[in-house]
Structure 1
Amino acid sequence: MLFKLLVVHFAICSLINVIACDSDVPQLTDDDFETIISQYETSLVMFYAPWCGHCKRLKPDFEKAAQLLSRNDPPIALLKVDCTESGKTTCNNHGVSGYPTLKIFRLGKFVREYSGPRSADGIVKYMKSQVGPGSKELLTVDDLKNFINKDEVVIVGFFKKDTDLKKTFLQVADKLREKISFAHTTVEDILGNFNIKSESIKLYRPKILANKFEPAEIDFTGGDAVFELQSWVKENYHGLVGHRTTENSEDFKSPLVVAYYNVDYIKNPKGTNYWRNRILKVAKQFQGKFNFAISAKDDFQHELNEFGFDYVPSEKPLICARDANKQKFVLKEEFSIETFEQFMNDLLGGKLTPYLKSEEIPSDNSGSVKVAVAKNFDDVVTNNKKDTLIEFYAPWCGHCKKLSPIYDELGEKMKNEDVAIVKMDATANDVPPNFDVRGFPTLYWIPKNSSDKPVRYESGRELDDFIKYIAAHATEELKGYDRNGKAKSLDKDEL
């Protein structure tokens, strides 16, 4: 029935010229949203605004994914709602506050926010994982061959009966289904053809990633605890040198060494593996001490900027690393197996100077609001022997511009106190790792001579708010204000 509904919709769209049917993605309105969405077993709805740039960029991938998923068994519907016109009430009812917002529904009921990739292939894989069991049951030898010949890492469980390990496998498959493909079998013919003598779980790497430095398949040797199997999958999924993309970058943790170059497994797999194999040869020597990955330089230009590169002039890999403390290091010499190996030995031995993105130290820093840059951060903030309030800002940030005159006035109010008022352009300087800056402006309070972590400033941003906070939290009572932030009366001697 569901498939027929989709076919009818696409047929109608091809026969009549209706604005709502300008693509393979049906557009729902306040009048028909509840009725239509309840007919789909599984659906992904994009709540959008026509003027939204992010929505426009997502549109072609969303439409391509809709075409592919309409042929899935069972089919998965991709739908859209215009939050500025015919779908205002629907968007309000579903708490849409930004665009595009994607939500998953089953039989008209909201299930969860979509948190997967925004590419067509990524949307397809993620949404397929939402349908049916977390692990596909394999019934024939051909089923298994087709499954392990995918262009992705897959996990297969081989079981002779319902055991504790099988139960654990199915639990883990359900937990990790959104990112990883799982399958299992109990068919004797399959077990015999693949010489499986006892129950086992195997990880298969795709042929496109085959190399002589690590096995193409790995056997799980742990127990039947869920955390053991889940940890094993995560530790081995990307291999010795993983293909790091914008969609899976969060999987790769420091200490991390990344080789940036023209990584493209679709148009140039041979050239991609030519350099990856050289990375693998060196990485093998440092396995367990560092994590390694390759990344497409064009997809990660923002990261390269953080290492001081506006562009990568060479076709050879550019090696950048972060140690366990998130300090940054760059291979300055042209890449070769020899220079990379030396770089890794020096990195492991602590012989390299970390790269620091920093503006130049101001020639005059005598203002009431001190300017911190990465090069002088310790002097101006950490070791200044004063209580310190620091603002991390961005030059283009409207909220920062609004705060600027208030912050300058605060600096004047505190210039005779044992308090430093400091600001730092967080877009032009590396922010120390103990300051979590994710938006602008972000402010922190650092008591003098304290070994504790900096305290995020969460109070108001008017002048009186700052003064009251500083007066209450200052290590020693301020000269001009009591602990409640009220100005003190001056003694005659001070007049």
Structure 2
Amino acid sequence: MYLFYLTLFLTAFSGCLAKEEDVLELTDSDFESRLREIDTALVMFYAPWCGHCKRLKPEYAKAAEDLIRNDDPVILAKVDCTEAGKETCNKFGVSGYPTLKIFRSGEFSQEYNGPREAGGIVKYMKAQVGPSSKELNSIDDFENFLKAENDVSVIGFFEKETDLKAAFMKLADKLREKVRFAHSSYKDVLEKQGAKDAVVLFRPPHLANKFEDDSVTYSGKAVTGDINEFITKNYHGLVGHRKPDNKQDFQNPLIVAYYTVDYVKNAKGTNYWRNRILKVAKQYKDKYNFAISNKDEFQHELNEYGVDYVKGDKPIVFARDANNKKFIMKDEFSLEVLDKFVKDLLDDKLEPYLKSEAIPDSNDEPVKVAVGKNFDEIVTNNGKDTLIEFYAPWCGHCKKLAPTYDDLAKQLIDEDVAIVKMDATANDVPSPYDVRGFPTLYWAPKDSKDSPVRYEGGRELDDFIKYIAKHATSELKGYDRKGKEKKKTEL
């Protein structure tokens, strides 16, 4: 086994950049035999033509390069389900691509449900090996643990077995995939930290600043949930580094500064701007959450604010309030401008930014067109039950649905029902509608537009009519509640 690891290590070490050879290629003939030699492996089942697989491929290779050097190595492997790995993919029930699964000593262990970016894959998989909390038996262990990763460390200091230690260890098991935990009962470590029964969150050195402490000590009860809340509250500090693999940690109301955030190539330049944001954030930490993000990694978010390209080195700043409304800091970045922007946000002096196509000159077709600027008029306040389709112009399923949707609108043209469509790629989708794929359809009863229901029924004309006939606030003129067309004598 060690010879196997050594071979893989030397292969990975031979290049400065992540390479495809860092990922172990497996086939039907060697899948079981090779995985049996590996304590922990992550396997990607893929198809060469799959777009999602192509996007994951470089991230997977970067993660493989890092994980092979871990104290407890994790091997990343891949199986081509269209060629030499067909039987293996069938055996493990692979029905979509990419599918990722974790194996231990050749046996399937669990589905991989972690991030799809290199950093997130590394963090998730490192948590799969070794204990959930690393025991620190010397000052060197303690100092090395803090320096080993550019990440937050949560360490428990326990002179003896206590309720706090029990709660800490229980939480470490629960959060091992998200947080780095360690603990120590070593006398010299306890004396160095000045703690005998405490939990301390240490911020990574590259995020050190004069506006907040480098570490925070938990002072609550020996309750797992309370310790979890403490970690969540303090994990990212005043101004967190928001990345694709942790963006879900940053909740509204949120102010994000986008610029060339790069702690590998330009940590000094990155912190130059972050420190200025920190100075403002410290004043408003109880009102808004703050973060910095790399403008290139979040170009899709910039597009949501109508920005295609960021000129210059200075950050641009966007915000979302508690109701998810968007706001743009229009003036060039400075401490004074940022401070005024936050004050104006809090005082409701700013006009929200709304991504919207122009309101149609004419909206006389049976299917009404909603855009960002007229959504309230066409949907929310139209006084009718409404079926609304959120679509994308390039979506094949949307194009297939279009003639049926048009026919539906024609069939119900005299009813108290609105059939509406909206290009969700060119307009902001308002809350509470949640659109993550196309087409997405919602049924919004006229008296409860704040609680629309996702339409999950069939896509044939008859399916739509039966659904609307059943759920309409008032019975339709032309159809009974079962969706049967009424006879002329009934009309």
TM-score, normalised to structure 2's length?
0.93
1:241 pairs, out of 239, 242, 245, with: 239
Taking the aligned partners of 1:347 and 1:64, their CA distance within structure 2 comes to: 40
Partner of 2:16: none
Q: Contact 1:200–1:220 (CA<8 Å) still a contact in 2?
A: yes
| Secondary structure of the corresponding residue to residue 422 of structure 1 | strand
Partner of 1:352: 350
Deviation (angstroms), 1:66: 3.3
Partner of 1:282: 280
What percentage of residue pairs aligned between the two structures are identical?
62
Taking the aligned partners of 1:126 and 1:82, their CA distance within structure 2 comes to: 23
Partner of 1:478: 476
The alpha-carbon distance between structure 1 residues 221 and 385, as it changes in their structure 2 partners (threshold 3 A), is same
Partner of 2:270: 272
1:326 pairs, out of 308, 324, 327, with: 324
Deviation (angstroms), 1:126: 2.4
Q: 1:211-250 maps to which residues of 2 (within 5 A)?
A: 211-250=209-248
Deviation (angstroms), 1:88: 0.7
Q: 1:179-258 maps to which residues of 2 (within 5 A)?
A: 179-196=178-195, 198-258=196-256
Deviation (angstroms), 1:67: 4.2
Q: Contact 2:12–2:65 (CA<8 Å) still a contact in 1?
A: no
| Secondary structure of the corresponding residue to residue 285 of structure 1 | coil
The reply to whether residue 102 of structure 1 matches residue 68 of structure 2 is no
Q: Contact 2:259–2:315 (CA<8 Å) still a contact in 1?
A: yes
Taking the aligned partners of 1:172 and 1:349, their CA distance within structure 2 comes to: 40
| Secondary structure of the corresponding residue to residue 199 of structure 2 | strand
Partner deviation per Cα, 1:224-264 (whole Å, 9 max, x = no partner): 11001111111101000000001110110111110111111
Q: 1:68-217 maps to which residues of 2 (within 5 A)?
A: 68-149=66-147, 150-196=149-195, 198-217=196-215
Q: Contact 1:358–1:429 (CA<8 Å) still a contact in 2?
A: yes
Partner deviation per Cα, 1:423-460 (whole Å, 9 max, x = no partner): 11111111111111111111111222335511221211
Q: Which moved more, 1:329-338 or 1:95-104?
A: 95-104
Taking the aligned partners of 1:267 and 1:229, their CA distance within structure 2 comes to: 35
Partner of 1:468: 466
The alpha-carbon distance between structure 1 residues 165 and 366, as it changes in their structure 2 partners (threshold 3 A), is same
Deviation (angstroms), 1:193: 2.9
Deviation (angstroms), 1:151: 2.3
Amino acid at match of 1:424: M
Taking the aligned partners of 2:11 and 2:235, their CA distance within structure 1 comes to: 44
Partner deviation per Cα, 1:276-308 (whole Å, 9 max, x = no partner): 111111111111211110000111010111111
The alpha-carbon distance between structure 1 residues 173 and 406, as it changes in their structure 2 partners (threshold 3 A), is same
Partner of 1:437: 435
Partner of 1:18: none
Partner of 1:261: 259
Taking the aligned partners of 1:230 and 1:450, their CA distance within structure 2 comes to: 37
Q: Which moved more, 1:52-61 or 1:309-318?
A: 52-61
Partner of 1:375: 373
Partner deviation per Cα, 1:128-169 (whole Å, 9 max, x = no partner): 211111111111111111222342211111110111111111
The alpha-carbon distance between structure 1 residues 88 and 192, as it changes in their structure 2 partners (threshold 3 A), is same
| Secondary structure of the corresponding residue to residue 22 of structure 2 | coil
Taking the aligned partners of 1:435 and 1:279, their CA distance within structure 2 comes to: 32
Taking the aligned partners of 1:398 and 1:405, their CA distance within structure 2 comes to: 13
| Secondary structure of the corresponding residue to residue 124 of structure 1 | helix
TM-score, normalised to structure 1's length?
0.93
Q: Which moved more, 1:474-483 or 1:218-227?
A: 474-483
The alpha-carbon distance between structure 1 residues 221 and 77, as it changes in their structure 2 partners (threshold 3 A), is same
Taking the aligned partners of 2:479 and 2:458, their CA distance within structure 1 comes to: 18
The alpha-carbon distance between structure 1 residues 122 and 372, as it changes in their structure 2 partners (threshold 3 A), is closer
| Secondary structure of the corresponding residue to residue 112 of structure 1 | strand
Taking the aligned partners of 1:272 and 1:70, their CA distance within structure 2 comes to: 29
Deviation (angstroms), 1:326: 0.6
The reply to whether residue 6 of structure 1 matches residue 5 of structure 2 is yes
How many aligned residue pairs are there?
485
Deviation (angstroms), 1:369: 0.9
The alpha-carbon distance between structure 1 residues 223 and 271, as it changes in their structure 2 partners (threshold 3 A), is same
Q: Which moved more, 1:66-75 or 1:198-207?
A: 66-75
Partner deviation per Cα, 1:457-483 (whole Å, 9 max, x = no partner): 121111111112222222222222222
Q: Which moved more, 1:315-324 or 1:97-106?
A: 97-106
Q: Contact 1:160–1:199 (CA<8 Å) still a contact in 2?
A: yes
| Secondary structure of the corresponding residue to residue 23 of structure 1 | helix
Unaligned runs of 5+ in 2: 14-18
Q: Contact 1:468–1:485 (CA<8 Å) still a contact in 2?
A: yes
Taking the aligned partners of 1:72 and 1:382, their CA distance within structure 2 comes to: 54
Amino acid at match of 2:80: D
Q: Which moved more, 1:99-108 or 1:286-295?
A: 99-108
Q: 1:288-303 maps to which residues of 2 (within 5 A)?
A: 288-303=286-301
Deviation (angstroms), 1:13: 12
Q: Contact 2:20–2:61 (CA<8 Å) still a contact in 1?
A: no
The alpha-carbon distance between structure 1 residues 331 and 63, as it changes in their structure 2 partners (threshold 3 A), is closer
Q: Which moved more, 1:237-246 or 1:85-94?
A: 85-94
Taking the aligned partners of 2:65 and 2:384, their CA distance within structure 1 comes to: 62
Taking the aligned partners of 2:220 and 2:485, their CA distance within structure 1 comes to: 67
The alpha-carbon distance between structure 1 residues 341 and 135, as it changes in their structure 2 partners (threshold 3 A), is same
The alpha-carbon distance between structure 1 residues 482 and 194, as it changes in their structure 2 partners (threshold 3 A), is closer
Taking the aligned partners of 1:428 and 1:268, their CA distance within structure 2 comes to: 35
| Secondary structure of the corresponding residue to residue 308 of structure 2 | coil
Amino acid at match of 2:187: E
